[in-house]
Amino acid sequence: MESYLDSILKQFAYYKQLGERAMAQLDDQQLFEMPGPDSNSIDILVKHMAGNMLSRFTDFRQSDGEKTWRNRDQEFVSTFASRNALMEYWEKGWNCVFEAVRPIKTSELSDLVYIRNQGHTIIEALNRQLAHYAYHTGQMVYVAKTLKGKNWQSLSIPKGESTSYNAEKFAREKKRGHFTDEYLSGKEQ
């Protein structure tokens, strides 16, 4: 179970960095662009994700994950004035996640926490949030890729390069590792 906690922290860090690498490819105006009439811009996705993070992980063990002060509907209204404001809120949300998760002990993973009065073991709550953040980070990457078009720099294995990528990977000795290790260190591929 200790490896679970290490893994979940690495996966949260991975999705944080993935979102940041997508946003870094955009100019300031593109962060606020909606790719379609009923879609979300990246600033709205950031606002929703960070709002969710602050609600779920503030007093993580002591209070319900859906805080009375949260206004979820307002998270889908664009209000950031700049990239800096957006990034500060993004960092605030992620810092709340990491500060709540890092102190968890393996012996506490089956303890209950509540989200809208529904009990979750800590493992279930962490898995729920990881899936939620992965879902929206994927949306951020898709929006950024759509806005950049041909100028997009792939954040994974670029199209047409799977064979060479796999050849390089299989040329190495087998070893134990986490899939995020190379990505988070900046040494992927």
**Dihedral in degrees, nearest 10, Cα atoms 68, 73, 74, 78:** 150
Given a contact cutoff of 8 angstroms between Cβ atoms, the answer to whether 105 and 4 are in contact is no
Lowest-confidence pick of 22-36, 87-101, 173-187: 173-187
> What's the token pair of residue 55?
């609600």
Assess whether pLDDT exceeds 90 at residue 158: no
Cα separation, 27 vs 135, in Å, equals 23
Q: pTM of the full predicted structure? A: 0.93
pLDDT classification of 30: cutoffs 50, 70, 90: very high
pLDDT at residue 189 tops 50: no
Q: Side chain identity at 31, as an amino acid letter?
A: L
- Domain 2-185 matching CATH 1.20.120.450: the answer reads yes
HSE-up of residue 142 (Cα within 13 Å, Cβ side): 12
Percent with pLDDT over 70 in the chain: 97
Q: Is the dihedral of CA 66, 54, 3, 133 positive or negative?
A: positive
